[in-house]
Amino acid sequence: MKKILVLEDEANIRSFVVINLNRAGYETIEAGSGEEALEQLRLNPDVGVALLDIMLPDMDGFEVCRRIRAGNSKIGIIMLTARTQEMDKVTGLMTGADDYVTKPFSPAELTARVDALVRRLGVDDDEKSSTEISSGPFLLNTRNRTLEKNGERVKLTQLEYSIMKLFMENRGKALAREEILDAVWGKGYFGELKIVDVNVRRLRLKIEDDAQEPKYISTVWGFGYKWNV
Ligand code: CA
């Protein structure tokens, strides 16, 4: 979980990122193009987190993200976005990224984001007690970190799994967005609250019968979300 892939075509930014991650104790693998990043991931299946630049010479970072996610739901993905448009961030998260950092970023901010994600992904559930939580048509297996709906596997990222677990452990209770952020991303996370909304929206697309009319995860206006089954 200590190996980080850094995909960035601008050599000076890449070395800035690499130097700071190395200083924070991470091993880094570098890539300057999307193809190179995908190849490096094939060669290094133990990479825990990938940092993906968006503007690249061969394909955009969202496409790289999609291709990584098509075969790997375990890896953590952080998009490095130069643009400030909200849509870019949302697009990145909808393609399966866990977080994003807007350039220019400070070494401290980047390292904090990577630390938070690594910590989140490395958290082992307490396996001594129950390994399954069921709620309505859903069955969550905390040993394998998998989710089934009506007996069929729903593919989740590690963060989506953590959100589902939080919901299923708190059925019928309105959870504040801050509470979800603290529980899933960790108290040290200093990103925006909006990331909760984007992940919930993505989760709804995967688990709801109709994401436009969500019945399992309802919105508690001005507050947060509630799990209803
Ligand atoms: Ca670039």
pLDDT in tens, 31-64: 999 999 999 999 998 899 999 999 899 999 999 9
pLDDT of 27-40, one tens digit each? 999 999 999 999 99
Q: State in Å: Cα 145 to ligand 1 middle.
A: 34
Q: State in Å: Cα 55 to ligand 1 middle.
A: 4
Q: State in Å: Cα 166 to ligand 1 middle.
A: 36
Give the phi and the psi of residue 108 in degrees, each rounded to 5: -65, -40
Statement: residue 229 has pLDDT above 80: yes
Q: State in Å: Cα 70 to ligand 1 middle.
A: 23
Q: State in Å: Cα 203 to ligand 1 middle.
A: 29
Q: Are strands 146-149 and 138-141 parallel, antiparallel or unpaired?
A: antiparallel
Which strands form 146-149's sheet, in the order they lie side by side? 132-135, 138-141, 146-149, 152-154
Counting every residue written for the chain, the total comes to 229
Note residues around ion ligand 1 (Cβ under 5 angstroms): 9, 53, 55
Q: State in Å: Cα 54 to ligand 1 middle.
A: 6
Q: State in Å: Cα 81 to ligand 1 middle.
A: 9
pLDDT for 28: 96
